[in-house]
Amino acid sequence: MAPLIGVLAVQGDVAEHIRALTLAGAEAVPVRRPEELAAVDGLVIPGGESTTIDRLLRIFDLAEPLRARLAEGMPVYGSCAGMILLSAEVLDGHPEQQSLAALDITTRRNAFGRQVDSFEVDLPFVGLDEPFHAVFIRAPWVERVGDGVEVLASIERDGEEHAVAVRQGNVLATSFHPEVTDDVRVHALFVELVRAAGSIGDPAVVEGHPSTTNRDN
Ligand SMILES: NC(=O)CC[C@H](N)C(=O)O
């Protein structure tokens, strides 16, 4: 059975992730309510504006349930703003920005600078045979990688390597936006991760046919 993967749908490019996840073999649904979050096997946190998504998570009463599911080990993939939200520490963040702290990394927001705030590059990526055409949009980079965090891709700037894709256990994050290309290999890696983790959703929901729950939106 295809894993049920949610896309956090409070802000950002939700439809593109749903399309990519579907092409990668998942059943994908938007997640806006705690009950929807409880039903999914994994979650994508899309790009957008991390300060806004952080604020909306609290307004939608999703922040605490999301922290709880992350603490249980629910697989999550954060792209760009999603990576920022998952980071243990954020540099150049808004003073009131709260982190989900699911990844032991320090990210710097808008790290590539304002002049070159968007660019594309063919990026070698651990686990993929061919480079990934990566689209960066006002992207963060990773300045510190904790023990147990695997760097999957990095970019050199001014003689220093900066991680732009990382994985720690069930948490995957990229600074770039695979959902805006036709290449679904990063989403496929996440779908495999969710499959390997097995169904760990709310037991009541899982027993009651997850494939028929919360699918009407
Ligand atoms: N494309 C993006 O997600 C940009 C992220 C944005 N710069 C932020 O700080 O949240």
Q: Is the CB of 80 under 6 A from ligand 1?
A: yes
Query: Rounded to the nearest 10 degrees, what angle do helices 14-23 and 185-197 cross at?
Result: 70
Would you state the pLDDT for residue 214? Answer: 39
* 70 within some domain: yes
Residue 72 covered by a domain: yes
Specify the CATH number for the domain of residue 155. Answer: 3.40.50.880
> Does 51 reside within a domain?
yes
Domain with 132 in it: 4-210
Question: How many structural domains is the chain composed of?
Answer: 1
Distances (CA, A) of 101 to 22, 37, 71, 160: 28, 18, 10, 25
Question: What residues are annotated to the active site?
Answer: 80, 177, 179
Is the residue at 215 inside a domain?
no
Q: Which of 214, 188, 202, 154 is nearest to 2 (CA)?
A: 188
Q: Would you state the pLDDT for residue 114? A: 67
Determine, yes or no, domain membership for 216.
Answer: no
Is there a domain that residue 217 lies in?
no
In a domain, 157, yes or no: yes
Could you read off the pLDDT of 30-89 as tens digits, one per residue? 999 999 999 999 999 999 999 999 999 999 999 999 999 999 999 999 999 999 999 999
If you take atom 3 of ligand 1, which residue's CA is the nearest one?
A: 47
Is any ligand 1 atom within 6 A of the Cβ of residue 52? no
* Annotated binding residue 12: no
Tens of pLDDT, residue by residue over 106-164, are: 999 999 886 568 999 999 999 999 999 999 999 999 999 999 999 999 999 889 999 99
Helices (H), 3-154: 14-23, 34-39, 50-59, 63-72, 81-86
Rg over CA atoms, the chain: 16
Whether 167 maps to a domain, the answer reads: yes
Q: Cα separations (Å) of 157 from 6, 61, 113, 151, 162?
A: 34, 39, 11, 16, 7
**What pLDDT band is residue 96 in, cutting at 50, 70 and 90?**
confident
Element (H, E) at 203: helix 203-207
